[in-house]
Amino acid sequence: MTRIDAKFAALKAEGKKAFVAYVMAGDPDYETSLEVVRGLPGAGVDVIELGLPFTDPMADGPTIQAAGQRALDGGMTLDRTLELARSFRETDDSTPIVLMGYYNPIYSCGVDRFLDKARAAGIDGLIVVDLPPEEDEELCLPAQKAGLNFIRLATPTTDDKRLPRVMQNTSGFVYYVSITGITGAAEAQAVDVAPEVARIKAVTDLPVIVGFGINSPEKSRAIASVADGAVVGSAIVGKIGAGKPVAEVLDFVRGLAEGAHSA
Of 60, 83, 124, 136, the catalytic one is 60
Of 46, 49, 136, 228, the catalytic one is 49
C-alpha span between 85 and 24 (Å, rounded): 12
Are 95 and 48 in contact, with CB atoms under 8 Å apart? Answer: yes
49 catalytic? Reply is: yes
C-alpha span between 70 and 64 (Å, rounded): 10
Question: What residues are labeled active site?
Answer: 49, 60
